[in-house]
Structure 1
Amino acid sequence: MAMLNTHAVTDLPQVRRQKILLLLERDGRVLASELSTHFEVSEDTIRRDLTELANAGLVQRVHGGALPRPKDSGKDYFARLNETDEMKRQLAQLAAQQVQNGQVVIFDSGTTPLHIARSLPLDIRLTAVTASPMTAVALAEYPGVSVILAGGQLNPATMAANGREALELIRGIKADLLFTGVCALHPEIGLTSPRFEEVELKQALLDSAAQVVAVTTADKLGAVEPFLIAPCNRVHTLYTESRVPTGDIEDYRRLGLNVVVA
């Protein structure tokens, strides 16, 4: 019986693409030139592999290679809210301790800022600003919290208002603190989003706060979405897990971020 040619198996596209995903998980990024050498195929072949993986939502294509995508990329708001794990709750409770009485605090859209709002002390006194109706309702339960809700068209994917009305309100506020939503945060690429329509508002949020706090589970670190919001160093404090599956937590500290791990 003839022996199986291992190179022939490796050259099968589906096998090679699975191995590319394993390399991406291990290294945090892959380069087409290096994959070409590793698998002994042309760069055109590798580029087709990466394009197929990107079309399947498994990687984010960038010039020369690919980066990971967050696990919940593309899921709607309620799907993400229902899947909230214990680590996200712990991070939210930890981040909520940063809020001080008398501050003006902006809560971005997303499920994590909602959990932070729900984790505040019952006797907290502050002015809260948000474009998320659900977060506004959660904050309204605190007797000492004055809530400012940005208006505009509701985006069903984020369950938050966006557009000119929300943008103008945010640009007119100078807050002490912003809890920014995180879709993906990469030390080299920065803070990115899968939705073009929310980029301008998120940039305005960053400009409106003296301190920017990002709270995220580790799967969103080292990941990249299609639309750039801001460089990574626009975040001042990062609350996350101690174990990062792609890259090194020290990459964020080297950029000047205060990294707090749960």
Structure 2
Amino acid sequence: MQDHSIAELPSLRRQKILLILERDGKVMASELSQHFAVSEDTIRRDLAELDSAGLVQRVHGGALPRPKDTGKDFFTRVGETDEVKSYLAQLAARYVKDGQIVIFDSGSTTLQIARSLPSDITITAVTASPIIAIALAEYKGIKVILAGGQLNPATMCASGHETLRLLQGIKADLLFTGVCAIHPEVGISSLHFDEVPVKQAMLDSAAHVIAVSMADKLGAVEPFVVAPCRRIQTLITERHLASGNVEDYQRLGIEVVQADTDL
């Protein structure tokens, strides 16, 4: 249904766009153009204004909600108690087997996975996060290899030439990749530019990649694209998604594990 009455009121139209986005989880410029009886160029300008204000995340053809965690530093995220995240981490930890070489990317969820491993596990763990390295070092059976470099205080992860050189020299069985945002078309993306080559090197070094993601990060996009979704073999997430469908990821060949997180 077209809404001709607000075609000449950009501020009101943008408020309506936000309401539609909250209801549907995504908006498409072509559909909004028909709904408001304005050109797609007008809608694209609306979405650009909303993106500049930090209210939406523009993607090809439309817009998505902003991820809830955007802008929070590592210590803020680690300090937040989240039973759902802890449960997803426990599911992920079950994929780890004795004798494996496992890469742990940075992130509060990955830290939870490290803390959820069986107490008697025997593996070689590789990480560029000092905090995750400390958590892993508490296990008697885990040999920890810490990739050094310049530390980003927002992510508590090292980056740079030395980090990449170590990661590129490893052939791991398993990678737990950190996820800022993941979209079936755009792929895995990050809020931090310096994370991109590190994450790419980790993806290149692992035989099996597992992403553990809260529902609000699915269908979201951050400024710096890391890799296509096809680089992930297993996605562990909540049963109830904020936007999109698991079929979008399954069509890409990804095993999707949806946990019953109604705790």
**TM-score for the superposition, normalised by structure 1:** 0.92
Gapped regions of structure 1 (runs ≥ 5): 1-5
Distance in 1 of aligned mates of 2:114 and 2:241: 25
Runs of 4+ off more than 6 Å: none
Give the CA deviation at 1:10. 7.2
Give the CA deviation at 1:159. 0.6
Secondary structure of the structure 2 residue equivalent to 1:173: coil
Distance in 2 of aligned mates of 1:62 and 1:259: 23
State how 1:33-52 maps to structure 2 within 5 Å: 33-52=30-49
Query: Could you say which residue in structure 1 is the equivalent of 2:106?
Result: 109
Distance in 1 of aligned mates of 2:95 and 2:101: 12
Gapped regions of structure 2 (runs ≥ 5): none
Q: Is structure 2 residue 200 aligned with structure 1 residue 189?
A: no
Q: Is structure 2 residue 177 aligned with structure 1 residue 180?
A: yes
Query: Could you say which residue in structure 2 is the equivalent of 1:228?
Result: 225
Spell out, residue by residue over 1:14-58, the C-alpha distance to the aligned partner (whole angstroms, 9 max, x if none).
Answer: 432232123234444322232122112333432222112111222
Secondary structure of the structure 2 residue equivalent to 1:259: strand
Query: Does structure 2 conserve the Cα–Cα contact (< 8 Å) formed by 1:184 and 1:221?
Result: yes
Query: Could you say which residue in structure 2 is the equivalent of 1:153?
Result: 150
Question: Once structures 1 and 2 are overlaid, which stretch shifts more, 62-71 or 155-164?
Answer: 62-71
Distance in 2 of aligned mates of 1:10 and 1:137: 57
Q: Which residue identity is paired with 1:65?
A: G
Secondary structure of the structure 1 residue equivalent to 2:167: helix
Q: Is structure 2 residue 212 aligned with structure 1 residue 215?
A: yes
State how 1:78-93 maps to structure 2 within 5 Å: 78-93=75-90
Query: Could you say which residue in structure 2 is the equivalent of 1:100?
Result: 97
Percent identity over the alignment?
70
Distance in 1 of aligned mates of 2:254 and 2:83: 24
**TM-score for the superposition, normalised by structure 2:** 0.92
Give the CA deviation at 1:8. 4.8
From the superposition, tell whether residues 237 and 56 of structure 1 become closer, same or farther in structure 2 (CA, over 3 Å).
Answer: same
CA RMSD in angstroms, aligned pairs only: 1.7
Q: Which residue identity is paired with 1:62?
A: V
Query: Does structure 2 conserve the Cα–Cα contact (< 8 Å) formed by 1:11 and 1:39?
Result: no
Q: Which residue identity is paired with 2:12?
A: V
